[in-house]
Chains A and B, each alone.
Chain A
């Protein structure tokens, strides 16, 4: 690898890449930097790019006050939506990839339209539906609403994944006992593992970042996820940017870590054309 840098062009490209990355990721760096400053330092002009001292108390104070509770809510919502969405999308995506009938196109069409629906459109009707179901101010309102809107993408994505698995692979497993279901869990799922993992990660990030449904269906602050928690936190602490950024950082860090861990797979699965 070091040898590659001997090539002058390679070295130049590498340096340009680092510069581009530094510029692009500056906002994220600035979140980190601000989150460790004292209140006085955030207001000093010109601003220090790197904090003089790391004030960890920003984090402990924010977490103890509210952020921890909000993160717990985000986790509950994110994990449940992910399990529900991935499980249901696996079944339906598989069926859509194996049924060879003309009308299947129409069902796929419904899921494609579903992908485009704006949440702003659904929020009022869902509010009334959840009120009738007695689910307002429960996690279920956000979980069900979010699953409904996360499913279309997951179904279309997993259908493409299953299409790439030859049917001959599972036919062997049909012979013994309960054919389809057994074959599905023992043969198809292990092969589709990567695709399932990718869509799980994407669904989790999507649910973790929910804002409209949560702010509309959960009026009880103790149930709200971190995105809404941050929103009302700013309302009360608009000048305390060091704490606001500490709060911001604890929201974005989990998804950044998940993403960096799975980055190779996500990019590969994506560039393989699973998304159209």
Chain B
């Protein structure tokens, strides 16, 4: 009996399959199941009084209707797209520029590049607080620099016109290092001989960049931009700690709206419906990413 048990445990195939289980169980209970449960909630009327009871009336797609026909919906969707688009654009361009710059050989270029990553290890919630201070309209240091340059102070976080650009700056600042590292991993994969060949031809820098370097790191560029889109699209703590979505709705994006509906208005049905919309849009982007990931791994599995 004991030897049988022993041989069962030690059977190498079986062990491998047992190894699979723990993480799958954890992810199923605490990620996949909540995801499905969220769908279920979004078609019920869920308020603070019914949240923790089983008795929640089924309302079909009513929650979705009230989201889509909400007078704020268009503005918030537009905010989300603006926030995502400009985040991704500038994160990527700055990340690429920094990667190219620090890819050159000069003294200490590696440790200096490492220091740049500090921005990326700070929790987004805390980044929101830091930039809230920098953008303070009365005594903030950004207005001070503006004054030095001859401009007058701006009410960054308190006026609708400037609040969006403020959260954008903070989010771009946060993600530049991430982009830089992913781009660097592409650059190091280009063999030196190609750089040298281009140099002998006397190709100008931008020609070389456009015709040789960028095409060679296309897969990295693609993966980076998709990840940027996903991260910016679901951004919550940074905005919440900076503006709480205000003033009025100026910086309210879909995740912020979902949170407000659920935890400020206790309309969990609507909050979860917004979350489902976020998920479907993200899934669409992710499918492109995953297709790419799987095809780049062909032959491995």
Contacts and interface: CB of A to CB of B under 8 A. Distances in A.
Interface of A: 1, 4-5, 9-10, 13-14, 16-18, 20-21, 24-25, 27-28, 30-31, 34, 42-47, 88-89, 91-96, 98-100, 102, 104-105, 107-114, 116-129, 131, 144-145, 147-149, 151-152, 155, 163, 174, 177-181, 205, 208-212, 216, 227, 230-231, 234, 241, 244-245, 248, 251-252, 255-256, 258-260, 263-264, 267, 270-273, 275-276
A147 B23 CA distance: 9
Contact of B35 (A5, A17, A34, A117): A117
Given A30-B141, A119-B234, A211-B125, 19 more contacts: A10-B107, A20-B101, A27-B119, A28-B130, A46-B144, A95-B20, A104-B301, A113-B286, A118-B282, A126-B30, A128-B37, A131-B52, A144-B30, A148-B26, A205-B123, A230-B126, A248-B130, A251-B126, A260-B114
Interface stretch (B71-79, B80-88, B196-204, B267-275): B267-275
Interface in B70-113: 98, 101-102, 104-113
B23 A155 contact: yes
A244 B133 contact: yes
B190 interface: no
Interface string B12-44: 100111011111101101111111011001000
A227 B38 contact: no
Interface in B45-64: 51-52
B20 A252 contact: no
A21 B122 contact: no
B278 A118 contact: yes
B255 A118 contact: yes
Contact of B27 (A21, A152, A205): A152
Contacts of A174: 12
A27 B9 CA distance: 55
Interface string B108-139: 11111111111101111110011101101001
A95 B236 contact: no
Contact of B290 (A31, A112, A120): A112
A112 B130 contact: no
A27 B129 CA distance: 11
Contacts of A248: 126, 129-130
B16 A180 contact: yes
A147 B29 CA distance: 11
B236 A212 contact: yes
A230 B19 contact: no
A237 to B, nearest CB: 12
Contacts of A149: 30-31
B183 to A, nearest CB: 10
A187 to B, nearest CB: 13
Contacts of B156: none
Main secondary structure of the interface of B (DSSP, over half): helix
Given A4-B107, A112-B290, A124-B271, A21 B115 contact: yes
A109 B241 CA distance: 33
B108 to A, nearest CB: 7
Q: Indicate the member of A18, A42, A91, A125 with the most B CB atoms within 10 Å.
A: A125
B62 to A, nearest CB: 17
Interface stretch (B157-165, B206-214, B257-265): B257-265
B33 A129 contact: yes
B248 interface: no
- Among B9, B52, B107, B121, chain A packs the most CB atoms within 10 A around the CB of B121
Contacts of A125: 33-35, 37-38, 41, 272
B185 interface: yes
B230 interface: yes
Contacts of B21: 92
Contacts of B282: 116, 118
Contacts of B259: 120, 123, 212
A209 to B, nearest CB: 3
Contacts of B122: 28, 209, 252, 255-256
A128 B34 CA distance: 9
Nearest to B9: A178
A267 B117 contact: yes
B47 to A, nearest CB: 12
B241 A179 contact: no
Among all A-B residue pairs, the 6 with the closest Cβ atoms: A209-B123, A148-B30, A92-B23, A118-B234, A125-B34, A95-B19
B188 A120 contact: no
Contacts of A105: 294, 301
A25 B119 contact: yes
B35 A122 contact: yes
Nearest to B132: A234
Contacts of B297: 276
Contacts of A18: 112
Given A20-B101, A124-B275, A231-B241, A88 B26 contact: yes
Given A118-B236, A267-B114, A148 B31 contact: yes
Contact of B106 (A17, A241, A258): A17
Contacts of B141: 30, 47
Contacts of A255: 121-123
Contacts of A244: 129, 133
A29 to B, nearest CB: 10
